[in-house]
A and B are shown apart, each in its own frame.
Chain A
Amino acid sequence: MALSPRQKQNYWRYSQYALLALIAIVLVIVADWGTLRDKVFNPDIIAHQFPGVITVALKNTLIYTALGFVVGLSLGVLLALMKISSIAPYRWISTLYIELFRGLPALLVFIAFGYGIPLAFGLRLNNYVTVMLALGMVSAAYIGEVLRAGLEAVPKGQYEAARSLGMGHSRAMMTVIIPQAFRIVLPPLTNEIILLTKDSSLVYLLGMSVAQYELTKFGREGISASGAGLTPLVVAGACYLIITVPLGLLARHFEKRAGARSRK
């Protein structure tokens, strides 16, 4: 007996559910729960991570991210404005900067700042300054590109209307174009903050004191200290999610709001 299109669709759907359930069951049966509990989700070691993982590591990750973001955003705005400038050398400098810092792994930039600058100029920067510059200058390249796209997405008529009302170029940019560009780029900008949060783990390259540990370093040190599997890293990972998941939700919220506006 032939199936109707609706019946076929239902069979297809239920067989996919069945497959997913089967995979889950196999994983549960195959996994070594005893070892997992000891080495990955060990409650004693989890308890041992507190309160340091919050008061030191999470706090430092937030501080490094914030420092990097302040520099990244300020420099990013400058790069975006330079890239759409009518002055050609500004455009060249901005393009060169963006291609350079976007093309290099953040790891290399950290090494350059941590070891290159002391070697080249003989000055040892404060760790926080180094973090701020290294994280900020890498993220500025991405943020600059995101902002440039946002500035170009603001309809030309907005600029013309602002100029027609007697605003000069800078006034029109500050009052009309940049605020609208920011609304457009809020979702991708939130993604940049998430990336920055994770890149802050590279701070370990600079050789931090215990009080300066951020989440990843704190987790790795926890592993060496306890000698008992991956549990400290799981705790650190969960702490990253505490930061990044709300940011992701925020980005989705902005996207929805932007979508609701543009549909009208």
Chain B
Amino acid sequence: MTSHSAPASVTIKDLHKSYGEVEVLKGIDINVSPGEVVCLIGPSGSGKSTLLRCVNLLETPNSGLIEVAGHSVTDPDVNIDKMRTNVGMVFQQFNLFSHLTVLENCTVAQIKVLKRSKAEAQKIALENLEKVGLADKAGRHPDQLSGGQQQRVAIARALSMDPQLMLFDEPTSALDPETVGDVLSIMRQLAAEGMTMIVVTHEMAFARDVADRVVFMDGGVVVEEGPAHEVIGNPQHQRTQLFLSRVLNPTAQ
């Protein structure tokens, strides 16, 4: 319903990123097909969030290539603002605009960037708020909502731009446990509708059930990747096994 634009493919080739002396990404190669859902998992500091933020150039890679829907993102002369309108981003801390209402959060970029009329923008925003179950909160301010509700608004805000690709950066890590499910079920629905999604997450159940593919990263490299049930159910690499056993059984010795 929301995604009028065709889902995009993503190609990442030999991507390197350093902060000063510290190399965070040491040559990453990942391909995501249109409509595919890929979960990035791994210990903190493994570079998975940095990788995600490189895809819409919130971080500038040092070298390598990223293409979204066949268009190079890493080309120095790319119109990054135009490219970003096709890529929705959902942050760990929601980052809703605190001075705007829920509805305005979902319309402001449609009006100012996509130059849609106010009426059209509101119609699209309300459709997406309906989709995340928060149309009745359209007039509220973000600080009047719970964390889970804010994150659902953030998803509606991103969807209102009709993105071809959605990036999720630990979308449930800052949430109360009982609201995590609401956000995950919306993401699950989005995946079922055929959206291309790259998700950095610690929710292994979500990764196993929803992702087409899971990529395990550690120390700035892809250690292991494959179909979700294989990587999570039967990891081949020792580092993956260790990480998963710690995440799945945190109290085990």
> Assuming A157-B93, A166-B85, is B157 touching A179 (CB within 8 A)?
no
User: Could you say which of A164, A167, A261 contacts B89, with CB atoms under 8 Å apart?
Assistant: A164
Whether A161 and B98, one on each chain, are in contact in the complex, defined by CB atoms closer than 8 angstroms, is no
User: B residues within 8 A CB of A161?
Assistant: 89, 91, 95-97, 154
B81 interface residue per 8 A CB criterion: yes
Number of A-B contacts (CB under 8 A): 67
Contact B108 A157, beta carbon cutoff 8 Å: no
Q: Does A127 make an interface contact (CB < 8 A)?
A: no
Are A158 and B112 in touch, CB under 8 angstroms?
no
Chain A residues in 8 Å Cβ range of B205: none
Q: How far is the CB of A169 from chain B (nearest CB, A)?
A: 9
Quick one: which of A158, A161, A180, A261 has the most chain B CB within 10 A?
A161
Report the bound CA distance from A155 to B92 in whole Å.
13
Interchain CA distance A253-B199 in the complex, whole Å: 43
Partner of B161, one of A166, A179, A261: A166
How many angstroms between the C-alpha atoms of A6 and B110 in the bound complex? 63
Asked if B112 and A175 sit within 8 Å, CB to CB, the answer is: yes
Give per-residue flags for B68-82: 1 if the beta carbon is below 8 A from chain A beta carbons, else 0. Answer: 000000000000011
Q: Which residues of B contact A165 (CB under 8 A)?
A: 84-85, 108-109, 113, 157-158, 161
How near does chain B come to A69, taking the closest CB pair, in angstroms? 22
Give the residue among B56, B97, B157 with the most A Cβ atoms within 10 A: B97
Question: With an 8 A cutoff between CB atoms, is A176 at the interface?
Answer: yes
- Which of B82, B84, B112, B143 has most A Cβ within 10 Å? B112
- Give every chain A residue within 8 A of B95 (Cβ-Cβ): 155, 157-158, 160-161
Contact between B108 and A175 (Cβ–Cβ < 8 Å)? yes
A residues 159-200 in Cβ contact with B at 8 Å: 160-168, 171, 175-176, 179-180, 183
The answer, yes or no, to whether B99 is at the interface (CB within 8 Å) is: yes
Which residues from B are CB-within-8-Å of A179? Answer: 99
Instruction: Evaluate contact between A180 and B91: CB separation under 8 angstroms.
Output: no
CB distance from A173 to the nearest CB of B (A): 12
A163 in contact with B98 given A157-B93, A175-B112 (CB within 8 Å) = no
Residues of A within 8 A of B89 (CB): 160-161, 164
| Chain A residues within an 8 Å CB radius of B84 | 163-166
Closest to A260 in B: B143
Contact A160 B91 (CB under 8 A): yes
Give the secondary structure class of A's interface. helix
B112 CB contact (under 8 Å) in A155, A171, A180: A171
Q: Which residue of A lies closest to B97 (CB)?
A: A176
* B2 CB → nearest A CB, Å: 15
A13 at the interface (CB under 8 A from B): no
Contact, CB under 8 Å: B109 / A157:
no
Interface residue? A8 (CB, 8 A): no
B99: which A residues are within 8 A, CB to CB? 176, 179-180, 183
Of the candidates A157, A166, A168, which one forms a contact with B91 in the assembled complex, judged by CB atoms under 8 Å apart? Answer: A157
In the complex formed, the residue of A with least CB distance to B161 is A165
C-alpha gap A163/B91 in the complex (Å): 13
Whether B91 pairs with A167 at a CB distance below 8 angstroms is no
Contact of B143 among A155, A158, A180, A264 (CB under 8 A): A264
B107 CB to nearest A CB, Å: 11
Beta-carbon contact of A167 and B58 below 8 Å? no
Closest-by-CB residue of B relative to A154 is B98
CB distance from B114 to the nearest CB of A (A): 8
CA distance A237 to B58 in the complex (A): 55
Whole-angstrom CA separation of A160 from B56 in the bound complex: 11
Chain A residues positioned under 8 Å from B158 (CB to CB): 164-165
Contacts of A168 in B (CB 8 A): 81
Q: Could you tell me the distance in whole angstroms from the C-beta of A167 to the nearest C-beta in chain B?
A: 6
Contact A171 B143 (CB under 8 A): no
B56 to chain A: closest residue by CB: A164
What is the minimal beta-carbon distance from A37 to any residue of chain B, in angstroms?
A: 53
- Chain B residues with CB under 8 Å of A164's CB are 56, 58, 84, 87-89, 158
Do B113 and A167 have beta carbons less than 8 Å apart? yes
CA A261 – CA B95 in complex, angstroms? Answer: 15
Contacting A at CB under 8 A, from B140-170, are: 143-144, 154, 157-158, 161
A167's partner among B56, B81, B93 (CB-CB below 8 A) is: B81
Can you list 20 A-B pairs with a CB-CB distance of less than 8 A?
A: A155-B93, A155-B95, A158-B97, A160-B89, A161-B97, A162-B97, A162-B109, A164-B87, A165-B85, A165-B109, A165-B113, A165-B161, A166-B81, A166-B109, A166-B113, A168-B81, A175-B112, A176-B97, A183-B99, A261-B98
